[in-house]
Structure formats: C-alpha cells, structure tokens
Amino acid sequence: MADEETQSTLAKVAGLVVAGGVAWLATKAVDTAWKAASGHKPPKPEDDADDIKIGEVVAAAAITTAVVTFARIFATRGTKKFMQRVDRNRRLPS
C-alpha cells in the first residue's frame, strides 16, 4: 500500500512539474508569436493602462489562456501515461 501511495505521489509531483514547465513554455511561445504578429509584446497587468486597448487585452488573455490550458492538459495526460508505463515495467518479473 505504501509503495502505491509513493507512486501516486511521485506521479502527481511529476505531473505538476511538467505542467508548470509546459505552461511557462506555452506563455513564452504566445509572447513570441504575438510580438511577431503585432510588433510588440502582448499587454501585461503591470503595463501603463493608457497605452492599451481593451480589445487587445481581451484577445491576449483569451489566446494565452487557451494555449496554456491545452498545453497543460496534454502535458498532464502524457505524464500520466508515462508514469503508468514506468509503473507497469517495474511490476514485470525479471
């Protein structure tokens, strides 16, 4: 029982680390694509509000959220499948 709990905890930690890294990479990819398309970085909360159009803020938030969410979902699923494979291989008799 303790071994299963350890594996479950390890899978959760690995999933969190991978999902966090993928979310960061996805955000950087959106920032780069936005800059290539518009000539400037997407708006951030700390930017001066006088220079930002509301439509641009909404578009940047929607695009970033969608890309990060999809990336995290696929990373979490992939990590889960990987951990299941590792666990299955550990249980095979040698």
Say if CB 92 and CB 23 are below 8 A apart: no
Angle (deg, nearest 10), helices 54-91 and 2-38: 150
In whole angstroms, give the CA distance from residue 21 to residue 86. Answer: 21
Q: Which helix (H) or strand (E) holds 15?
A: helix 2-38
Does the pLDDT of residue 93 top 80, yes or no? no
20 vs 46, higher pLDDT: 20
What tens digit of pLDDT does each residue of 22-52 get? Answer: 999 999 999 999 999 999 888 877 777 677 7
In whole angstroms, give the CA distance from residue 26 to residue 69. Answer: 9
